């Protein structure tokens, strides 16, 4: 067994997708941790933005909520949802994080309901800011636990747009040009999207995982590239920093 937990792997893998001198819209939990990790390692000049209005804070401890006062601690601005959502719609936000109960091969997400909308089997929280992040960020990073019930042929409800029906359908629906899911990160692999069909494709498999396992844990067909990369495992520096970022173990287990 590798010497790291799944949450640690997800956090480190997500952090590495983020780039310095870019802006990222984060939620609480793993996205927040990935953002902080990136900022403290390879992306010191990355701007972190929260949907309730916190912009560029120097968070002293991990926030519980995206509206929590920790998100404006020594921030450069404590603004409003109107301001940050407008920024996003206007193209200022490069990366956004998403997750969900179900995902399909085009990266569409369901966080609204399992079963029929009018008589739900399981009622989930709804879009929240997810549809906005998925619609308006330049690139979204989707963090998903992967299994056949979550990687589905057809969502019970399209809460948040990925590439919709694939091809050019996202743009044709009126969503911003060039935007959409960039990476999907599961406990098994990292995925990207084939440029023309916009179908999900393996980008790299995690250390110790084989392609077959990745494919078996999905109800839709995942594309396989000619060459299979292996995800870099978390480094000791990354793991140490994660402990500093989440010392009480809100998301990352205490070592």
Partner 1 sequence: MLLQEGKGQLVGWHDPDENRKWVEANKPRDMTDKTMTAQEAVSKYVTDGSYLAMGGFGHVRVSMVMIYEMIRRRKKNLIMAGKTAVHDIDLLIGGGCVDRVEVAYAFAHELRGLSPGGRRAVESGRVKVVSEISNAGYQWRFLAAQMGLPFIPTRAMLGTDTLEKSSAKVIRDPFSGKPICLLPAAYPDVAVIHVPRCDKFGNCQIDGTMVEDFELARAARRLIISTEEIIPNDEIRSKPWLTKIPYFNVDAVVEQKYGSHPCQMPLEYFFDEEHIGEWLDLSKSDEGNQKYMDKYVYGTEDFADYIKLIGGEKKMKELVDVEHLRRPMTAPWLKNKGGE
Query: DSSP code of 169?
Result: H
Q: Which of residues 31-50 bind partner 1 (CB under 8 A)?
A: 45-47
- Give how many residues touch partner 1 by CB under 8 A: 92
| Contact between 106 and partner 1 per CB under 8 A | no
Query: DSSP code of 9?
Result: H
Q: Which of 26, 33, 85, 245 binds partner 1 (CB under 8 A)?
A: 85
Q: Which of residues 158-217 bind partner 1 (CB under 8 A)?
A: 158-161, 164, 169-170, 172-178
CB 110 within 8 A of CB 126: no
Select 68 or 228, whichever has its Cβ closest to partner 1.
Answer: 68
Q: Is 108 helix (H, G, I), strand (E, B) or coil?
A: coil
| Strands 23-25 and 95-98, sheet pairing | parallel
Q: Which of 241, 238, 209, 144 is nearest to 2 (CA)?
A: 209
| Strands 102-103 and 109-110, sheet pairing | antiparallel
Select 113 or 190, whichever has its Cβ closest to partner 1.
Answer: 113
Give the shortest CB-6-to-partner 1 separation in angstroms.
Answer: 5
Q: Which of 39, 79, 102, 231 binds partner 1 (CB under 8 A)?
A: 79
Give the shortest CB-93-to-partner 1 separation in angstroms.
Answer: 9
| Contact between 233 and partner 1 per CB under 8 A | no
d(CA 151, CA 134): 18
| Contact between 116 and partner 1 per CB under 8 A | no
| Contact between 137 and partner 1 per CB under 8 A | no
CB 165 within 8 A of CB 236: no
């Amino acid at each position: 067994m590798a010497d790291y937990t799944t949450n640690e792997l997800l956090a480190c893998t997500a952090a590495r997708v983020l780039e310095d001198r870019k802006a990222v819209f984060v939620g609480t939990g793993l996205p927040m941790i990935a953002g902080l990790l990136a900022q403290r390692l390879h992306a010191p000049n990355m701007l972190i933005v929260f949907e309730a209005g916190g912009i560029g804070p120097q968070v002293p401890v991990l926030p519980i909520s995206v509206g929590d006062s920790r998100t404006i601690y020594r921030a450069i601005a404590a603004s409003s949802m109107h301001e940050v959502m407008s920024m996003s719609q206007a193209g200022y936000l490069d990366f956004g994080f998403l997750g969900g109960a179900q995902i399909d091969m085009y990266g569409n997400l369901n966080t609204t309901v399992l079963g029929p909308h009018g008589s739900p089997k399981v009622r989930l929280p709804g879009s929240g800011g997810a549809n906005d992040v998925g619609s308006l960020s330049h690139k979204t990073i989707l963090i998903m636990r992967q299994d056949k019930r979550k990687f589905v042929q057809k969502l019970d409800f399209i809460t948040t747009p990925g590439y919709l029906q694939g091809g050019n359908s996202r743009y044709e629906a009126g969503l911003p040009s060039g935007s959409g899911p960039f990476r999907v990160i599961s406990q098994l692999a990292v995925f990207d999207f084939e440029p023309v069909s916009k179908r999900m494709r393996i980008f790299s498999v995690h250390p110790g995982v084989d392609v077959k396992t990745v494919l078996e844990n999905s109800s839709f067909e995942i594309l396989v590239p000619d060459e299979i990369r292996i995800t870099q495992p978390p480094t000791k520096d990354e793991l140490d920093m994660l402990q500093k970022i989440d010392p009480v173990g809100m998301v990352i287990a205490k070592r």
